[in-house]
Amino acid sequence: MEALVNGSHGYDIISWFEDVTKNAASVQTQTLSQILKLNCGTEYLKKWLGDDYNIQDMDDCALESLFSRVVPLASHADFEPLIQRIADGDTAPLLTQQPITTLSLSSGTTDGRQKFVPFTRHSAQTTLQIFTLAAAYRSKVYPTREGGRILEFIYSSKQFKTKGGLTAGTATTHYYGSQEFKIKQEKTKSFTCSPDEVISGGDYKQVTYCHLLLGLFFSDQVEFITSAFIYSIVQAFCNFEELWREICLDIKNGTLSSRIKIPRMRNSVLEILYPNPSLASKLETKCQELEGVNWLGLIPKLWPNAKYVYSIMTGSMEPYLKKLRHYANGLALVSADYGSTESWIGVNVDPGLPPENVTFAVVPTFSYFEFIPLYKLQQHCTSVATDDFMEDKPIPLSQVQVGQKYEIVLTTFTGLYRYRLGDVVEVGGFHNKTPKLNFICRRKLILTVNIDKNTEKDLQLVVERGSQLLNAAELVDFTSCAEVAEEPGHYVIYWEIKGEVEEEVLEECCREMDEGFRDHGYVVSRRTNSIGPLELCLVQTGTFKKILDYFVANGAALSQFKTPRCTNNAVLLAILNASTLKRVRSSAYASQHLHPSLPP
């Protein structure tokens, strides 16, 4: 097999990207003009642009300045009534001139509510484009063999019809079912281990079993391991620790466990399998050895030809990196690209960098991107928290500054205009003239009782700090809530832990986290006891699986699942509280309550 170093699919797309990024500003102006010329006359645009302008004949630059002058910034709520009409079967041009036949469901796990977003052929095409582009950059650093296989932990959710007959499902589901997904395999000459019947099987537990089984059946051919977000990979390998004997037995006999009940899925896997006792016995020996070392290095041991693991590892996925590194034991981890159901945004052009340092070079043809500059509120600001940043006017991509934080605003080919995505990014540098973005966090404040302001990122850092005291035990997952029903309100953090931990250690972790929140509003409120001591709840094993099951039962797909890091969802809180084994309260700030004026 030939090495695919900058192979034919690689060279062209990289030069294309070089061209568009060298001219990022004008490409953006043209992209906006293209979007507006395609969709002028739609109900939404007419509302803002009126009938006074002849959009089709306007010069691109004039159009760009008109657009930012008269079309307002908007959020999903502003588009919701129109999207609802589309879902209900209104075929008038509301957001786009081309009829929308498919709607995507954003994961909704970040703010607890799934949202419909229009999906068009353009969406699948940009997915193919970014995957091919990213593959080209990866193959420069980690060449793979043509004709090899990819172990992909991917999951389609159920598609359903809306009242108006449109197909709805997650964006990844639409993509896995699209022509583009097949084209990608042909273009990159690497094929997924599992057939379509598995990917679209529906029940994620059965699908995971089949992915693992086929991944091992083809283990010598697997060139890399991937998923949309690392959560699914970590989840799969945790399950493998329990499933490996059954999987080896299936490989030995060419059979399929009775766990797999869906007939289409069963048949498709049985068509591929045949008895392979020698592979099964090799795998068994390896698994026995791995079990003895707590599965350290599971990936390179079982997939000796895998060159890397490729998946989104940034943002809310960072807490799972430790576990993935344990399984990978030195094998390269390549952080995957940045996008959302609404639009793809940026590509990782430095795949050799560790996930913590990865930035995403904005692809200026995908959407029209604007950036709202964000400034941290002054430390002494004691207004009741509604947000943690002050904002300035949005600026175009060409004007962003290195080191500055922004919220991203999208104008897409799928009918969203000046749509606030709600993600906070920081410009880390430039690739030619396009910014390289560092993902920081979701914009929404997640933990707030009164004047305190803490984001998902703040929580993540504090949990990382607290969990370092766990010694041998390991943090599996976490979430939080701001408990305001009782006075004074306080933060509650829920931890699921693997291994034993003593009460004194938990108390230490709890104190460490309470002290770890450095937000001025929080520190002041803790000193005066207007926020009570932080509470750490240890939940029983399997609690976060129940949370995943709850989301999946409500239409989420494992491929896009992100554990909510803060919740006020009553069902989730009921699961968490019913599963709590131990509760401890922080002893931090205790002495200061008597002397609130003391320095920390």
Q: Which residues bind ligand AMP (CB under 6 A)?
A: 106-107, 110, 312, 314-315, 337-341, 421, 423, 439, 442, 560
Residue 354: partners with Cβ closer than 8 Å, 6 or more residues away: 333
Region of 47 (left: φ > 0; alpha: ψ -120 to 50; beta: rest) is alpha
Cα–Cα distance between 377 and 370 in angstroms, integer?
A: 22
Tally the residues of the chain.
Answer: 600
Cα–Cα distance between 269 and 276 in angstroms, integer?
A: 14
Cα–Cα distance between 143 and 135 in angstroms, integer?
A: 10
Cα–Cα distance between 274 and 283 in angstroms, integer?
A: 16
Beta partners for residue 282, in sequence order: none
Angle, CA 458 vertex, CA 452 and CA 342 arms, to 5°: 105
How far apart, in Å, do the first and last CA atoms of the chain sit? 64
Taking the least distance from each CB to ligand AMP, the nearer of 240 and 369 is 369
- From the number of C-beta atoms within 10 Å of its C-beta (0-12, 13-18, 19+), residue 151 rates as buried
CA distances from 271 to 207, 244, 264, 303, 468 (A): 16, 21, 11, 23, 47
Taking the least distance from each CB to ligand AMP, the nearer of 248 and 556 is 556
The phi and psi torsions of 207 (rounded to 5 degrees) equal: -65, -45
Q: Do 466 and 513 form a contact (C-beta atoms < 8 A)?
A: yes
Buried b (16+ CB within 10 A) or exposed e, 509-548: bbbbbbbbbebbbbbbbbbeebbbbbbbbbbeeebbbebb
Cα–Cα distance between 576 and 481 in angstroms, integer?
A: 11
Taking the least distance from each CB to ligand AMP, the nearer of 337 and 519 is 337
Taking the least distance from each CB to ligand AMP, the nearer of 346 and 521 is 346
Cβ of residue 428: shortest distance to ligand AMP, in angstroms?
13
Among residues 523, 507, 501, 505, the alpha carbon closest in space to that of 452 is found at: 523
Axis crossing angle, helix 230-253 with helix 321-328, rounded to the nearest 10? 40
Cα–Cα distance between 422 and 408 in angstroms, integer?
A: 7
What's the token pair of residue 519? Answer: 């937000």
Axis crossing angle, helix 179-188 with helix 121-141, rounded to the nearest 10? 20
Taking residue 89's Cβ as centre, other Cβ atoms within 10 Å add up to: 11
Q: With H, G, I as helix, E, B as strand and everything else as coil, classify residue 325.
A: helix
Q: Which residue is nearest to ligand AMP (CB)?
A: 315
Q: With H, G, I as helix, E, B as strand and everything else as coil, classify residue 600.
A: coil
Q: For residue 361, what is the enclosing H or E element?
A: strand 360-362
Cβ of residue 104: shortest distance to ligand AMP, in angstroms?
8
Q: For residue 143, what is the enclosing H or E element?
A: none
